[in-house]
Structure 1
């Protein structure tokens, strides 16, 4: 009987130990399968503690547009007689203008203007901000670079504009000229960094120096996979400014961001990029701006559709009409046939198939115009399409340039 009792006790102890061990392993398994919630990305502008001390008692100029916003945690009444806090969105210019000890002297506005409503390529006049009375100076049209007179009396320039990561999107050209003018005047520049919604890949032909223009100033591919702060560091480090001068540049970096982070822009970066889909398709569809095919300007699906009266008649068609950002759209009032790409899967590379397909269906002599080479940054892409090379053959010709660029790019990255 004694032996039986001891045996039973031993069995119970072994069972309890095994059960406890299994339970611990199960708990560990559950813990390891839990996914961490992604942390909220903080823009450079959101991190006021990192740059406000640099602006105190300074006369500043701000390079800004409608995307120059920040979130500030403020005290607020959450219920009757109960105070709490909430995130409030401010425009950077308004916020700094009302901040004690910071003297906002003027605003420099890029393509599309300070409020971001002008057509692509439309000349923007100087003026005054209705809300604050601050002078606004256009950096688009004849005056792309701040003059030394315009910078007179300025101690520091703050640059805060949302980019979309495509070489022909002109905000990086504006950054170049601002840095160059400030370097010549001995004025420091602070870039408040913002995520690149197309920062998850690198693709396209590298721009050749002889095809340099305002829609492509540097030897980088069409999609370069860098934030605007990283890009500013590359402009400086590669000595791309006039005469190799360098700007006194400070970048206020992002928090909780990697180049693989998905980032949905809180507002349109320009009138014809109305949503995430258009921004993702833009690097591929913008080539149509240098052809006789419409990329959807004058519709509510800009850079999500393409077509022209010359393409094969399909079930899908659209008729461009004047609207915000497109007063005189290509083929205004004419029926265009083509494709609706608004439900297309998220791209992680340039897609040339639509361009090649449209070329094969269009009158060959009328398809390309002079702007196409400026967008491509090379004459080779037009020549390759005219020779009817496949997308794979064309892309293979970019490999050496892309590999060399990635080596240069790596030196200036702030994020993984």
Structure 2
């Protein structure tokens, strides 16, 4: 008995040393993916780094984990180790990895089907939640005692990691599997904005009646899913959130690893809630360039000083208007936004020479309503459109407040 206690204590100590950079060396593969590992606020401790809070919960259990390239433990020397690699190193029984859109290593295009496979480094089976099914099946969850969810989100309703969160929670609830969330900051968590999704327009890019910028961390959002009974048949997931330390919603947070191939830096992440509307139009939002979601343009926007030509690249094999000159706007030096900026899409709509084909059906899914397209086509101003959001936003802010874990 004493020997087992001593063994567990030693293992926990070793894991803590790994978390703070005292033992493990960073893998070359991980460091290549870095943008910069300097956090805007170095006092923030993400959930994954709080090993002493969750390692005891994993011992003696068969563990599954929903993870991607952002699922890391930061170290004091400005490097990091992947959570999966660290768990395995400490003999935690990780048996399966579940991967979201863009895959486990985060290299697949937006919307690209991701297949099941085997991770070349750990040899663990990888179950894609963006392939044959988006919700884990009972068979895929068989023999798993606890499921960890650790993915960096960007705080926008149409960013699909929160949709994956929904389906994973639902599957865990239906199969009596507890879920552990390692919480991370929301880089767009300083504000709440946008139209509330109307449920008749529910899709994988919008599953809940929330605004486009929801203002919550993954841990907070999961609590809201449970509390509002949004899972099928009102089931709830047994949930534990490993909270961050020293985080508040008004703190700027630099993402040291790009959360997906087409969000390469802080500027793109900040502009994403405003520029993603262009995905539902004939305007390219920078895919096929090195300034994704920092520029926009199309062959139909004339009299624009800025031009670029989308090319097939690692993040977009088939970008909109590939190999065609796009006329548009460069926002790489735009000031930090603390609200959705509708001026971009309104300006583009009025500048296009092909208004009848400006919008496509995907726009309604992104907006969560048919109203926004009609408002733009009806020449409403930004102020008039945003005024129409006010009642919904006020109700959402009141509802969501009770699920907040951080100031």
- Would you call these one fold, judging by a TM-score over 0.5? yes
1:198 is the counterpart of 2:201: no
Q: 1:256 corresponds to which residue?
A: 246
Unmatched tracts of structure 1, length 5 or more: 1-36, 74-85
User: For 1:64, which of 46, 67, 89 is the aligned residue?
Assistant: 67
Contact 2:41 2:252 in 1 (8 A): no
Q: 1:389 corresponds to which residue?
A: 380
**Aligned-partner SS, 1:53:** helix
Q: 1:145 corresponds to which residue?
A: 135
The ranges of structure 1 where at least 4 consecutive aligned residues each deviate by more than 6 angstroms after the TM superposition are none
Q: Aligned partners of 2:78, 2:153: CA distance in 1, in Å?
A: 23
Q: 1:23 corresponds to which residue?
A: none
Q: Aligned partners of 1:177, 1:125: CA distance in 2, in Å?
A: 18
Q: 1:4 corresponds to which residue?
A: none
Alignment deviations for residues 254-313 of structure 1 (CA, whole Å, 9 cap, x no partner) = 111100011000110000000000000000000000000000000000000000000023
User: For 1:407, which of 398, 401, 406 is the aligned residue?
Assistant: 398
Contact 2:274 2:341 in 1 (8 A): yes
**TM-score, normalised to structure 1's length?**
0.87
Q: Aligned partners of 1:332, 1:46: CA distance in 2, in Å?
A: 42
Query: Given the superposition, is the C-alpha separation of residues 314 and 88 from structure 1 closer, same or farther in structure 2, using an over 3 Å criterion?
Result: closer
Contact 1:201 1:223 in 2 (8 A): yes
Query: Given the superposition, is the C-alpha separation of residues 92 and 39 from structure 1 closer, same or farther in structure 2, using an over 3 Å criterion?
Result: closer
Alignment deviations for residues 6-63 of structure 1 (CA, whole Å, 9 cap, x no partner) = xxxxxxxxxxxxxxxxxxxxxxxxxxxxxxx965111000110000000011101000
1:380 is the counterpart of 2:371: yes
Q: What are the within-5 Å matches in structure 2 for residues 8-407 of structure 1?
A: 40-72=43-75, 89-100=80-91, 102-362=92-352, 363-407=354-398
Q: Aligned partners of 1:202, 1:215: CA distance in 2, in Å?
A: 18
Contact 1:170 1:215 in 2 (8 A): yes
**TM-score, normalised to structure 2's length?**
0.89
Q: Number of residues paired by the alignment? A: 367
Query: Given the superposition, is the C-alpha separation of residues 50 and 383 from structure 1 closer, same or farther in structure 2, using an over 3 Å criterion?
Result: same
Contact 2:192 2:215 in 1 (8 A): yes
Unmatched tracts of structure 2, length 5 or more: 1-39
Q: Aligned partners of 2:127, 2:203: CA distance in 1, in Å?
A: 21
Contact 2:282 2:357 in 1 (8 A): yes
1:314, CA displacement in angstroms? 2.2
1:98, CA displacement in angstroms? 1.4
Query: Given the superposition, is the C-alpha separation of residues 205 and 147 from structure 1 closer, same or farther in structure 2, using an over 3 Å criterion?
Result: same
**Aligned-partner SS, 1:45:** helix
Q: Aligned partners of 2:51, 2:350: CA distance in 1, in Å?
A: 53
Larger Rg: 1
Q: Aligned partners of 1:327, 1:356: CA distance in 2, in Å?
A: 28
Alignment deviations for residues 107-134 of structure 1 (CA, whole Å, 9 cap, x no partner) = 0000000000000000001000101100
RMSD of aligned Cα (Å) = 1.1
Contact 2:41 2:251 in 1 (8 A): no
